[in-house]
Amino acid sequence: MPQYKSIFKDETKLDINYVPHKLPHREAEMRLLIEFFSFALQAPDKMAQRAIIAGDVGTGKTVLSQRFGNRMTDEAVKLGINLRYVHVNCREYRGSLFLILHHIVSIFHPNFPNRGYSAEELLGMLLQILDDENAHVILALDEFESLIERESSEAVYKLTRLQEIRQDKPQRLSLICILRNLRAVDKLDLSTRSSLQSNIVNLEKYSKQQLIDILNDRVSLAFKPLTLPEETLNLTAELASSENGNARFGIELLWRSGKYADAENLNRVTPECVRKAVSSILPAMQKNEMASLRFHEKLFLLGVARVLKESQKACISFVDGEQAYSIACEEFNVKPHSHTQLWKYLKTLSALGILRTEVPATDSRGRSTLIYLPNIPVYDLEKELNVLLKKEEM
């Protein structure tokens, strides 16, 4: 039995819980957060802060907050300040303020009983613990929408106006509320909204080039040198970009693609590994949808699949696809359709999500369109198309 050799150097660097030291394309947002909470390192007793981090899935909200928390607590240690960063996913605790507060209290007192107290009592106990230990907490409430949906304004109001019932006592608790859409805050009453919306860090979706930078950074940490080619990285970034710029999706795709490469004992991650990986994450196109394509749409798709299989590349040009289509037409004894008609087929296949296209920014003359096959392994696609086409030929 041959010795197992993995292409991974450290696959934990692709884990969803890994917090990298660098966050490409989030430097400005990090600086803004540090500015909002600078008091915590200068005069922690004097004030508390509230901030919102908002952005779509995969824009880096959670990892930005966690990296910020690590930086702040590292600096606090150097200055002799007892500062804790506590990250809680509200959805994991069913949006219950009681369960969230019980979890936080349990961090300081692990054997704290889970019954016999109200949420309000737990809040008072937490503050007493912080007073006793001369500690300060930056509490990050991830998936904050869950807390709003279950508890509405009252619970959020208690958290945001906490210090008002502690006159002349040190400030102890600051909040970071992490959510996908700022519209969720509209469900709160005006007074509660006003206490939250003063400091907002809004994360825009990543562009494809930004995704390439992010994924490249993870590749250098997770994979052995020269095991993940540039075209494989580009295909992964293209797929993550098509998922609304979802970096988390791209990172998971890297890990799965590496696993497929290891399973097949390959020395590198090929674009086909990516296609197999994405077909295991996203539901592949159903056979009845494939069957509903027109005969020449199937022929064009067959040509594209064959070129991708032979070249082992992530994408091909429209010209190469057109030539392969003509060869497929000869094989099935039909006359090829026009260039204009093929372009319409490409648009249809793109609209269905079977193919994806990109026009390079270079090539000032004609701008040759590139064709990607995003989420179907080429071998599976070619096999299915051959079966369908031969049935129609009979």
Higher-pLDDT residue of 359 and 328 is: 328
Q: What percent of the chain has pLDDT over 70?
A: 94
Lowest mean pLDDT among 67-71, 100-104, 135-139, 348-352: 348-352
Is residue 391 over pLDDT 50? yes
Residues 40 and 122 in one domain: yes
Residue 117 placed within a domain:
yes
Residues 192 and 219 in one domain: no
Structure tokens at 129: 């613990």
Number of domains in the chain: 3
What is the per-residue pLDDT across 139-183, written as a single tens digit (0 to 9) for each? 999 999 999 988 888 888 888 877 667 778 899 999 999 999 999
Residues 31 and 100 in one domain: yes
* Of the residues 202, 227, 257, the one at which a domain ends: 202
Separation of alpha carbons 173 and 48, rounded Å: 6
Structure tokens at 40: 């915590």
Residues 259 and 118 in one domain: no
Residues 74 and 87 in one domain: yes
Separation of alpha carbons 105 and 95, rounded Å: 17
Could you tell me which of 27, 173, 19 has the C-alpha nearest to residue 101? 173
Residues 169 and 65 in one domain: yes
Residue 214 placed within a domain:
yes
Could you tell me which of 207, 185, 177, 184 has the C-alpha nearest to residue 59? 207
Residue 179 placed within a domain:
yes
Q: Which domain range does residue 346 map to?
A: 287-393
Residue 4 placed within a domain:
no
Average pLDDT along the chain: 90
Give start and end residues of each alpha helix (H) in the chain: 27-36, 39-42, 61-79, 97-108, 119-133, 145-160, 190-196, 208-222, 230-242, 247-263, 271-281, 287-291, 295-311, 318-331, 339-351, 378-393
Q: What is this structure's pTM? A: 0.81
DSSP string, 284-303: PPPHHHHHTS-HHHHHHHHH
